[in-house]
Amino acid sequence: MLYTILCYHSEAIVGGWSKAQDDAVMEKLDVVHQKLAAQGRLGPVARLLPTSAATTLRKDSDPPLVLDGPFAETKEQLLGFYIVDCDDLDQALEVARELGQANPGGAYELRPIGVYHSSTLPIDANP
Amino acid sequence: MSDLAWLHGALAAARPQAMAALLRYFRDLDIAEEAFQEASLRALRNWPEKGPPRDPAAWLILVGRNAALDSVRRKAREAPLPQEVLISDLDDAEADLAERLDGADYRDDVLRLLFICCHPDLPATQQIALALRIVCGLSVGEIARAFLVGESAMEQRITRAKARVARAGAPFETPGAAERAERLAAVMAMIYLLFNEGYSASGGEAPLRSALCDEAIRLGRLLLRLFPAEPEVMGLTALMLLQHARAQARFDAEGAIVLMEDQDRTRWNGPMIAEGLALIDKAVRHRQPGAHQIQAAIAALHARSPRAADTDWPQIAELYRALEHHMPSPVVTLNRAVAVSKTEGADAALALIEPLGERLSAYFHFHGVRGAMLLDLGRSAEAREAFDRAIALARTPAEAAHIRQHIDRIQAEAAQGSTK
């Protein structure tokens, strides 16, 4: 089984860390990453930019509504995610709109990635 | 990270919201501050033992409010309210309060807290000092060190600023749309002032004062959470991030200025640039350009160039022209002239610069840029004159040292010429 581990924390607290504090946390996490990677069990890892950099595409209206800020509703739940290479927000929105046509309803939150490590899983790893 | 570091982080993160709510409740800055301090003390005693509350800001507001009321009632010889040990078990009260905090109140509360620091009668330095003390929660000592003044002088400055604000009376009615926009503009201006206090520092002072840049960025992000769809707030925060991203490369080991074209771009802060670029991307979609967005767009073009030679100068010159339209100022024209010198040459740039002489005669950068253009055109004697005036106007040793390099080069070239 492949598991996603979604990271939650208070952005105001994490954003308030000094560079030294942030580096220290990342270093400790990296020890765990290295261990999992050596076992071939680590998929892609991403650290997202702050929610202030987020844009939300509501795809339950036609045309879909673009809103500034992160997805904030609690009536819907996180069901999956994509990582797509885009030149800018407009291109990312284009992708999201296309996905939204294939699967209307709900919303997509578009959030740029700050730190990205590619997968160390074997290519054919199945859930 | 130790528990204590977590605790202090949580307290700092909750501060603007908690202080803002306490201020609305008590309508008095000093009582609100005392209430918050008392609540923080109790949090330091209480949280490590009982674990942090679900909503730290709500806990601090509730406990702070009760502690302040308690002390008022104690003075009136009445029965005290329950202690926070009991209160923190009252999950319902906390949840209820947290729910009410989510509303639009919260936004106007925090905006008000920031806005009272921007009173037009307060000189810029007092506005900034007050915001650092009240909103950011820096100690008087920390603020004094960042401003390079004694602690007692800073204490006085803040006390005077608070008294001034109290006399003026904080605006507690809910603002209308136009008033909210006005407050937002004043707060954005104050935040950028704070940023520049840190950004304009140089040499040995730079590390001390760059904390001011961090605080300004923190306030920019706070403002963004309150106004997620305001393109100028995105622009301001992006601008600060993109400028501060270069902090590590702006000075050499001796504290001398390193010009952007000579900076080691690998020392620029990647995550900060990424965040700034993402914000600019979002802002542009609104098609409501403003001065902060345009300046951020200029900074973004620099940030996007892997090497100085890749810089998109025509686009930068165009953006400065747009900025002149939004924010007419001879300093902006001077900056456009620098961009024009890269696209059309020093002659065209000098033609833009000369008419500014009257208004910028006391401005260091005017003479520095003018000297560089003259030097470029081989007019060494005039360049020397301009550099001499620049040196006389330098505000920091690093600025003076930078101009000194030009003068030394002119002298060396002159000496070489005479021996030929």
Domain-by-domain residue ranges, chain A? 11-117
Query: Could you say which of A16, A112, A115 has the minimum Cβ distance to residue B13?
Result: A16
Q: Supply the mean pLDDT for chain B.
A: 88
| CB pair distance less than 8 Å for A25 and B274 | no
Structure confidence at residue B88 (pLDDT): 46
Chain B residues within 8 A of A72 when measuring between CB atoms: none
Find the chain B residues whose C-beta atoms sit closer than 8 A to any C-beta of A. 1, 5-6, 9-10, 12-14, 218, 221-222, 224-225, 228-229, 234, 237, 271, 274-275, 278-279, 281-282, 285
If pLDDT is split at 50, 70 and 90, which confidence band does A62 have? confident
pLDDT at B5 over 80: no
The arithmetic mean of pLDDT across residues B177-203, rounded, is 89
| CB pair distance less than 8 Å for B285 and A89 | yes
What CATH number belongs to A11-117?
3.30.70
pLDDT at B77 over 80: no
pLDDT at B87 over 60: no
Structure confidence at residue B97 (pLDDT): 58
pLDDT above 90: percentage of residues in chain B? 63
Q: Which two tokens stand for residue B162?
A: 């608070």
If pLDDT is split at 50, 70 and 90, which confidence band does B398 have? confident
| CB pair distance less than 8 Å for A53 and B218 | no
Structure confidence at residue A123 (pLDDT): 64
Confirm or reject contact between A49 and chain B (CB < 8 A): yes
Domain-by-domain residue ranges, chain B? 3-102, 104-228
If pLDDT is split at 50, 70 and 90, which confidence band does B85 have? very low
The residue with greater pLDDT, B287 or B148, is B287
| CB pair distance less than 8 Å for B1 and A67 | no
Nearest-by-CA chain B residue for A113? B274
Q: Supply the mean pLDDT for chain A.
A: 89
| CB pair distance less than 8 Å for A68 and B281 | no
What is this model's ipTM? 0.86
pLDDT in tens, B349-361: 999 999 999 999 9
The residue with greater pLDDT, A50 or A13, is A50
The arithmetic mean of pLDDT across residues B281-296, rounded, is 96
Structure confidence at residue A17 (pLDDT): 84
The arithmetic mean of pLDDT across residues B209-216, rounded, is 88
pLDDT in tens, B55-76: 889 999 999 999 998 877 776 6
Query: Could you say which of A12, A21, A51 has the minimum Cβ distance to residue B5?
Result: A21
Structure confidence at residue B90 (pLDDT): 46
The residue with greater pLDDT, A75 or B287, is B287
Structure confidence at residue A127 (pLDDT): 55
What CATH number belongs to B3-102?
1.10.1740
Q: Which two tokens stand for residue B261?
A: 């074209």
Structure confidence at residue B413 (pLDDT): 85
pLDDT at B378 over 50: yes
pLDDT at B2 over 90: no
The arithmetic mean of pLDDT across residues A82-88, rounded, is 93
If pLDDT is split at 50, 70 and 90, which confidence band does B86 have? very low
pLDDT above 70: percentage of residues in chain B? 90
The residue with greater pLDDT, B282 or B78, is B282
Q: How many Cβ pairs within 8 Å bridge chains A and B?
A: 64
| CB pair distance less than 8 Å for B278 and A66 | no
Kindly report the number of other CB atoms within 10 A of residue B167's CB atom.
Answer: 9
Q: How far is B344 from chain A (nearest CA, A)?
A: 30
Structure confidence at residue B295 (pLDDT): 97
pLDDT at B91 over 60: no
| CB pair distance less than 8 Å for B274 and A50 | no
If pLDDT is split at 50, 70 and 90, which confidence band does B89 have? very low
Structure confidence at residue B76 (pLDDT): 66
pLDDT in tens, B224-250: 999 999 999 999 999 999 999 999 899
Q: How far is B278 from chain A (nearest CA, A)?
A: 6
The phi and psi torsions of A108 (rounded to 5 degrees) equal -115, 135
Structure confidence at residue B201 (pLDDT): 75
Chain A residues within 8 A of B234 when measuring between CB atoms: 52, 68
Structure confidence at residue A124 (pLDDT): 60
